[in-house]
Amino acid sequence: MGRHGTIAGRKAAQDSKRAAMFTKYAKAITVAAKDGGDPEYNAGLRVAIEKAKAISMPNDNITRAIKKGTGELGGAAYEELSFEGYGAGGVAVIVDCLTDNNNRTASFIRSTFDKYGGNLGTPGCVSYMFSRKGVLVIEKTDEIDEDELMEAMLEAGAEDMETEDDCFTIYTEPAAYTEVYENLKSAGYEFVESDIEMVPSMESTPTGEDVIKNLRKMMDILEDNDDVQKVHSNLGIDLWED
């Protein structure tokens, strides 16, 4: 549970960073809309919109983001960048970004790693420890039957499911992620979170008050930045657990 934290922890983090999440989701919608502005015919855009609505993003923001993607409104052209390195205690970290200024973003990422006891590496220095997967998290409730969910997720095209203390975590190949998301959504399941993630093959469990403090601060600062879409790590502990 270290990598994801508890259900309560996820929800608290989402609430505390709602404004930042609006910006990130708007960028994701803009990029998805480049393949077409009608969600009925663009599954990736449809999923991005559903996720934005799940955090109560205003419809005006969603419409504006779509129009930027289709070219109806002027706006920055975003480029996808990925950075790899090590945080304090040797924790492997991958940072996915959408940016309109590569130099600004690269400088921010490097300085943040340096400031909090980490070091930015070269492409491939840690990604070999991860596999790219669709990850869908469903909260455990009395209404959800594990066997039925297992059957539904296999029929939807998913490849594996882990049962944890307070949730079910479903894994898919990236190409199948959107279809699995939509099939399970249609079957009535709701997600605490869902995204394409880098899933580690081995986890790191750092110790030491200063190491944990630096990791927590670095992760918070990275995730709060508008250019950063996702921070992946091989942490095997919950940094924010009391």
DSSP string, 26-74: HHHHHHHGGG-S-TTT-HHHHHHHHHHHHTT--HHHHHHHHHHHHTSS-
The pLDDT value given to residue 78: 86
The pLDDT value given to residue 242: 54
- Comma-separated ranges of CATH 1.10.10.200 domains in the chain: 7-70
The pLDDT value given to residue 97: 95
The answer to whether 80 and 97 are in contact (CB under 8 A) is: yes
HSE-up (13 A, CA, CB side) for residue 76? 12
**pLDDT tens digit string along 21-33?**
888 999 999 999 9
CATH number of 130-199: 3.30.70.980
Cα-flanking dihedrals φ and ψ of residue 211, to 5°?
-65, -50
SS3 194: strand
The pLDDT value given to residue 2: 42
Q: Which segments in the chain show pLDDT lower than 70?
A: 1-18, 242
| Burial class, 8, CB count within 10 angstroms (exposed 0-12 / middle 13-18 / buried 19+) | exposed
Cβ neighbours around 148 below 10 Å, total: 10
The pLDDT value given to residue 240: 75
- Comma-separated ranges of CATH 3.30.70.980 domains in the chain: 79-128+201-233, 130-199
Residue range 7-70 forms a domain whose CATH class is: mainly alpha
pTM reported for the whole predicted model: 0.85
The pLDDT value given to residue 176: 94
Distance spanning both ends of the chain, measured CA to CA = 14
